[in-house]
Chain A
Amino acid sequence: MSVKRFRIFMASLTAFCIACVTQAQETTSPGIQQAGEVRFDVGKSLIEAPVKKALLKASNTNPQDNTPIRNQRFDNPPSKKSFGTLDVSKTFIEIPSKKLLESTKFTAVLPNNFSDNPPCQPGLVTWHRDLQEAKAASLRSGKPILLFQLLGQLDEKFT
């Protein structure tokens, strides 16, 4: 390689680096500046800065609007003061990502008393609901109480 070509190459490289630093400084957000001194890896910033910008915009959306994301934690975002203890850069990337994933999270809703034992009719007999009701009926009719005790539930298929 000739000396002339080498000088041209070095000049181009210097110009490229200056352009990168300038662009990175322009895209730095106020939130990041609040966190104090921020050191940039220039090449990394070329990729990260636009992403941060986009995510910042997304995270500043009002939770009261029609966004489908409903999560208690993000309906009440942490105050700016609390950001002082956080890794700011990390938080700005992670929170919107979490919000996005929360909305797609599968939540199976099962009742507390879930059982795969299907309900059924407890035979053809009309049963009293409790002992007090049976006693009152017995007093009226003069018939004895037939108390059927079992393990499981008579109104479930497997008992």
Chain B
Amino acid sequence: MLFSNASIAQFIEANFEPLWVSMRPVPQITIDFGNGHRIKRTLNGNIATWVCTADGTAIDVLPGSYAPQIWLREIEDLKTVHDHFVAIKKGQREEFLRDYHESQLGLAASRVVSHTATSELISGLHQDTQLNQTRRRRMAHQFLRNQPPSNPRLFTNWLYREVLGTDLEDPYLGLGETLFNNAPFLGEDATTH
């Protein structure tokens, strides 16, 4: 877990006012192998990390899961952006933020994650990080560039639905297709009734 890493926790507390918010429940699944072994995990979970000013204005977002070292580096960069944002006059902040997102659009494509870092990059987390750093962040920058500075709450539904592929208002928590349209034995069931 990202926040169980002592150096990351220390960095967060030294540089941010941290707050976590649950957007909705996450479905859990338990597979019982019948031989005493069971696996329990969550399905369709996803995260987003926003950096905001003291009045709640969203500066930028890191959509999805990241490898810890990459996440730390990106968060550090966003703190720098925040510091610039609050240092300028209020009347210039909207333009500053638009220019910032515009400039990041060009960088998003080149944010290829190297394999040199720690062991966690070997896993699927590397692929997630790569996807988040390139395509998803690009989508976020495109969207935020065209929005007036505002609270993340106004952008959250869009971010989860369009960028992370999770509709927060879905009563089936993203499992509707699996449960009703894509059941593995649906055809066989139909023949028995």
Contact = CB atoms under 8 A, between A and B. Distances in A.
B22 A146 contact: no
A127 interface: yes
Given A123-B4, A125-B3, A147-B152, A154 B20 contact: yes
A151 B46 contact: yes
B23 A145 contact: no
Interface string A136-159: 011101111111111111100011
A149 B156 contact: yes
Contacts, number: 145
Contacts of A142: 54, 86
Contacts of B55: 135
Interface residues on A, range: 20 to 34
B21 interface: yes
A4 B40 CA distance: 88
Interface in A104-158: 117, 122-128, 130-131, 133-135, 137-139, 141-154, 158
A151 B19 contact: no
B45 A150 contact: yes
A127 B47 contact: no
A128 B21 contact: no
Given A126-B13, A147-B50, 17 more contacts: A122-B3, A124-B6, A138-B53, A142-B54, A144-B16, A144-B51, A144-B53, A144-B59, A145-B56, A147-B21, A148-B20, A149-B47, A150-B20, A150-B46, A151-B24, A152-B42, A158-B28
Interface of A: 117, 122-128, 130-131, 133-135, 137-139, 141-154, 158-159
